[in-house]
Amino acid sequence: MRISIAHSPDSDDAFMFYGLASGKVPSGGFEIEHVLSDIETLNRAAFEGRYEISAVSFHAYAHLASRYVILPHGASMGDRYGPVVVAREPVPASLDGVRVAIPGTLTTAFLALRLYRPDVAYDVMPFDRIQEAVHDGTARAGLLIHEGQLTYKQEGLVKVIDLGEWWADRTGGLPLPLGCNVIRRDLGADVVGRLSRLLHDSIAYALSHREEAIEYARQFGRGLDRESTDRFVGMYVNDLTLSYGARGREAVVRLLTEAADQELIPRVAIEFAP
């Protein structure tokens, strides 16, 4: 059976799927194709059910729950860190009068930004152009995801607000759920269960063979050196990735409930695959 696994071309996702991509974790009789694309494109593709398994934003999941179920592993969560709003020069933390470049309206980064400032003014642009746009003055402020969270200071940009810190303070220390892996419901319980175990084993393999998995992930690091790649991967692939646990699941419920309460997303039942 041919299965497409879609994820972003980033070092943390590459690390997560290293076991399967390298063949170190057997595919269990499935023919697996890895599809790499940026998260906003994957969010849009999931509306069509294009891939059997996909990384999506938790923001997008609120619109996808009828077609996909959340896998019980593979989450990216910011534990007192996360998407960060930066500027070339200090701007009000309230973002009054500030227009922010964002990486997509279905990203959880944007959802968190709207929880922080519901009426924020924004422009959409590809995530990998935002730092440059802020630096050259095209955008007054930008919402950074991925490696930009580590590199913005080197480029002379200043932090306005770290949404992961803000969320932790708001919720008594919960992590900020950003991305998840989802699987199509129409595959049936048996196939969903088998594939779920494969992806769990791939994450577990990378965590227990960190050196070789980091070396593989470096090629997806967009300019990060090995030390920075290791640091970035550690931020988003960790124990919460291997299993949400009670704390991770509570964070997901809190995020999607608050967003629904503010009518930013539809209210959905949150369901995890076995």
Do 274 and 246 form a contact (C-beta atoms < 8 A)?
A: no
Query: Which residues fall within 8 angstroms of residue 97, CB to CB, at 6 or more apart?
Result: none
Name the residue with tokens 């973002």: 95
Catalytic residue annotation: 146
Strands 176-184 vs 76-78: parallel, antiparallel or unpaired: antiparallel
